[in-house]
């Protein structure tokens, strides 16, 4: 079946302009920038020091599942190429805690960290609780055939995050991110709709925050002051923004260096950067904003208005890993446009095959290049 979005959009703006004699204007209101951005004195391209870590610019490759073996050559090449493309911070995709515990990543993590560092980027791994204990699905509260985790099982989870983060540090990574967003396991403990517990991990906001805070503190204690601790959180879901503002303040007190605000994909009508801005107003640590900010003018405005300190660019960095360098070098006409078709990136998540890109056939094939 033909892909209408792909048929409508060539691989870059330059190709379309050559064919039609006019600049492209995407459907659904996504306007292409008028190219007023200039690299000189850009906030987006300026460095940021977080603790002892130097980020060469404010561009973040956010954690996005690739369906690649993180211990294998395909993933190493995929992440290396995106670091070579100029991102300041590379966050490796959500990695289940049990992969650290079974030793399957031991051989691959050091090489992955080295590849990212050699390309000039800082490197972090996102740590993910897969909502399974002993091979059985668990949740904050009993739902259908999923049982509630016991108090003892929940109390052991921060130690598992700490051990995984320590493995990342020993492999050479600059930091680890606790995944507490998007209705996954930790986020469900924060949610009053999912968390109906009556022990110390459920009920009041203070108790619903407890597990996330314990995970952050455990990572900090295990890895020391010079290791970056990030926490990814969805600011608004079945709970109000005010709850998240209280949580963000407590995360800062728990030793979190960077708060990564990732809005719910189902949320309509809210500007993603405004959610990051609300959190930033409540904390002193840097905040990452994500969502529809691959256009450098949009990203620059977010930074200039003080809404965030770092800008995560997701699918656009899948489509063109060299996007940051092309921005730096004033070669934006060469950028391979992400058309948001989700055909081979998000679509791959359903099939289990490694991700690719309908616009760039090299995505997922980086390891085959000389």
pLDDT of residue 26: 35
User: Is 78 among the catalytic positions?
Assistant: no
| Residue ranges per structural domain of the chain | 44-309
pLDDT of residue 145: 87
Which CATH number fits the domain 44-309, given the four candidates 3.30.420.40, 3.50.50.60, 3.60.15.10, 3.20.20.70?
A: 3.20.20.70
Band (96; pLDDT cuts 50, 70, 90) = very high
pTM above 0.85, yes or no: yes
Choice between 365 and 7, residue whose per-residue pLDDT is larger: 365
Residue 187 has pLDDT above 80, yes or no: yes
Residue 144 has pLDDT above 80, yes or no: yes
Residue 304's φ and ψ, nearest 5 degrees, are -65, -35
Lowest-pLDDT range of 18-32, 134-148, 272-286, 336-350: 18-32
Give the mean model confidence (pLDDT) for residues 195-202: 97
pLDDT of residue 302: 95
Residue 318's φ and ψ, nearest 5 degrees, are -70, -50
Band (14; pLDDT cuts 50, 70, 90) = very low
* CB-count exposure of residue 136 (10 Å: 0-12, 13-18, 19+): exposed
Selected catalytic residue, list 78, 184, 231, 239:
184
Give the mean model confidence (pLDDT) for residues 24-52: 70
Band (265; pLDDT cuts 50, 70, 90) = low
* CB-count exposure of residue 79 (10 Å: 0-12, 13-18, 19+): buried
Instruction: State pLDDT tens for residues 305-326.
Output: 999 999 999 999 999 999 999 9
pLDDT of residue 263: 82
Give the mean model confidence (pLDDT) for residues 96-122: 97
| Sheet (strand 132-133) strand order | 132-133, 136-139, 147-148
Rounded Cα–Cα distance for residues 83 and 123 (Å)? 9
Residue 261 has pLDDT above 70, yes or no: yes
Band (93; pLDDT cuts 50, 70, 90) = very high
Lowest-pLDDT range of 18-27, 119-128, 233-242: 18-27
Residue 23 has pLDDT above 90, yes or no: no
């Amino acid at each position: 079946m033909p892909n209408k979005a792909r048929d409508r959009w060539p691989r870059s703006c330059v190709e379309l302009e050559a064919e039609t004699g006019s600049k492209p204007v995407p459907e659904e209101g996504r306007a292409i920038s008028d190219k007023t951005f200039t690299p000189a004195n850009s906030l987006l391209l300026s460095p940021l020091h977080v603790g002892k870590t130097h980020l060469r610019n404010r561009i973040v490759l956010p954690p996005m599942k690739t369906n690649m073996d993180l211990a294998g050559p395909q993933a190493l090449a995929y992440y290396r190429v995106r670091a070579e493309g100029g991102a300041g911070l590379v966050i490796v995709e959500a990695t289940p805690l049990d992969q650290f515990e079974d030793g399957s990543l031991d051989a691959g993590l050091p090489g992955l960290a080295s590849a990212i560092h050699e390309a000039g980027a800082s490197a972090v791994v996102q740590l993910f609780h897969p909502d399974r204990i002993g091979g059985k699905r668990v949740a904050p509260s009993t739902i259908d055939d999923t049982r509630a985790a016991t108090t003892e099982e929940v109390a052991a989870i921060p130690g598992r995050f700490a051990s995984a983060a320590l493995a990342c540090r020993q492999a050479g990574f600059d930091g680890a991110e606790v995944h507490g967003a998007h209705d996954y396991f930790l986020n469900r403990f924060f949610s009053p709709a999912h968390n109906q517990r009556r022990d110390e991990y459920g009920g009041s906001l203070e108790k619903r925050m407890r597990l996330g805070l314990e995970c952050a503190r455990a990572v900090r204690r295990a890895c020391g002051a010079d290791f970056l601790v990030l926490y990814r959180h969805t600011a608004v879901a079945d709970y109000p923004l005010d709850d998240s503002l209280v949580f963000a303040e407590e995360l800062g007190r728990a030793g979190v260096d960077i708060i990564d605000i990732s809005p719910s994909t189902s949320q309509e009508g809210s500007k993603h950067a405004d959610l990051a801005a609300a959190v930033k107003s409540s904390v002193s640590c840097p905040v990452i904003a994500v969502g529809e900010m691959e256009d450098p003018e949009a990203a620059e405005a977010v930074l200039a208005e003080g809404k965030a300190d770092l800008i995560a660019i997701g699918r656009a960095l899948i489509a063109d890993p060299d996007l940051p360098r092309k921005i730096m070098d004033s070669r934006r006409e060469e950028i391979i446009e992400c058309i948001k078709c989700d055909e081979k990136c998000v679509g791959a998540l359903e099939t289990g095959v490694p991700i690719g890109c309908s616009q760039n056939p090299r995505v997922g094939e980086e390891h085959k290049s000389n």
